[in-house]
Amino acid sequence: MHGLDDLLEGMDPARRHRYDLTQRMQKRYFSTRRDKTLGNEITRWIDVTVASLAGPHPEGRILAVIGDPGAGKTRAIKRAMSAVPALEQSTLCVTAPRPCTLKQLGRTFLSAMGYDLHRDLREHLTWEKVRDHLEANRVRFVWVDELQHVLDGKHDAQVAAISDTFKNLVQRRSWPVSFLFSGLPAVSSFLGRDRQIERRSRTLEFGSLSFPASTGLIREVLLSTIVETDGGMGLGDLATDEFVHRLCHATSGALGVVIDLIRSAVLEAAERPTFNGTIQICDFAEAYASERGCEPSENIFLSSRWHEIQPENSRLRQLSAEGA
């Protein structure tokens, strides 16, 4: 099987330019005040854990980072954790698969620690192995991303079992573990079900952007991504309040989606035959249509009634009509 080097060598100049431009945009990180808050919460989570481990009754702590899809939680957490010296060596990072049972989550833990999963263990034996391997691998911190996958579709008894499993690991005297949970707002409700878990937890919410409150921030993202990329594209008239409002509405106020859509529009502009160095609203319309598969009348960047269009329904209405 050919590697990436072979694919790169086979690219013509146009494709290589697209690749290079994508790489440059992906390497940039737009930092906001919430990144500082997240960094402070993560260092507090670590410090409180270390202090507890040094005390007479050691136990772990829980930090939850919640937000709607596309809020930018995962990348922000990776960046914040990478800034803490020596944290990587004592941290296990896993993403809950979907669908996910408690047993599957345990197997995910074991796989991430290099355990051979050729045997299909029962659920309680799986978690016994998890406890043993966390200690054997000197893991003190565990980050579980997309935790809502473990909770989806579970009845009360199953959710209680999930809660008890995490609580057991946090309270285990011989080797307590601290957890960082990230996912949708349902994660916060999960933590509130058990008072013993709740009192050991802190929650940070990545809220949505809104217009006009987030106008300045969205303009900063536009400038950072467009003007400072590829030698600097021109913004033209895309810094107007109306365009910022359209962009905020099209992305449902999710910062991560805002950034992704801007990047896609930059690529569309760079490949447009009439490109003259300035990105235009048609580039955003093309990027939005490619993502949503919507008709022009449902495109928030083209329609005069854009404020009436619900982004989550742009694709669904078209599919519904086709299936009728």
pLDDT, position 296 = 92
Reply yes or no on whether the pLDDT at 229 is more than 90: no
Task: Report yes or no: 139 and 177 within 8 Å, Cβ to Cβ.
Answer: yes
Rounded Cα–Cα distance for residues 156 and 177 (Å):
25
pLDDT, position 120 = 87
Reply yes or no on whether the pLDDT at 226 is more than 60: yes
Element at 175 (helix H, strand E): none
Q: What percent of the chain has pLDDT over 70?
A: 94
The sign one gets for the Cα dihedral 35, 40, 44, 47 is positive
pLDDT, position 256 = 94
pLDDT, position 317 = 42
Rounded Cα–Cα distance for residues 24 and 204 (Å):
30
pLDDT, position 4 = 82
Reply yes or no on whether the pLDDT at 318 is more than 70: no
Reply yes or no on whether the pLDDT at 131 is more than 90: yes
Give the mean pLDDT of 43-65. 96
Predicted confidence band of residue 239 (pLDDT cuts 50, 70, 90): confident
- 34 contacts: CB under 8 Å, gap ≥ 6: 76, 206
Predicted confidence band of residue 315 (pLDDT cuts 50, 70, 90): low
Task: Report yes or no: 289 and 105 within 8 Å, Cβ to Cβ.
Answer: no
More confident residue, 29 or 102: 102
- 276 contacts: CB under 8 Å, gap ≥ 6: none
φ/ψ of residue 73, rounded to 5: -65, -50
Mean pLDDT of the chain: 91
Rounded Cα–Cα distance for residues 285 and 303 (Å):
10
The number of helix segments (H) and strand segments (E) in the chain equals 15, 5
Predicted confidence band of residue 27 (pLDDT cuts 50, 70, 90): confident
**How many CA atoms are closer than 13 Å to the CA of 208, on its beta-carbon side?**
16
pLDDT, position 322 = 35
Task: Report yes or no: 200 and 193 within 8 Å, Cβ to Cβ.
Answer: no
More confident residue, 152 or 17: 152
Rounded Cα–Cα distance for residues 53 and 45 (Å):
12
Give the mean pLDDT of 83-105. 94
pLDDT, position 319 = 38
pLDDT, position 225 = 84
CATH class held by domain 33-206: alpha beta
Task: Report yes or no: 104 and 145 within 8 Å, Cβ to Cβ.
Answer: no
More confident residue, 59 or 7: 59
Where does residue 236 rank: exposed (0-12), middle (13-18), buried (19+ CB within 10 A)?
Answer: middle
pLDDT, position 5 = 83
Which has the closest alpha carbon to 46: 175, 141, 183?
141
Reply yes or no on whether the pLDDT at 1 is more than 80: no
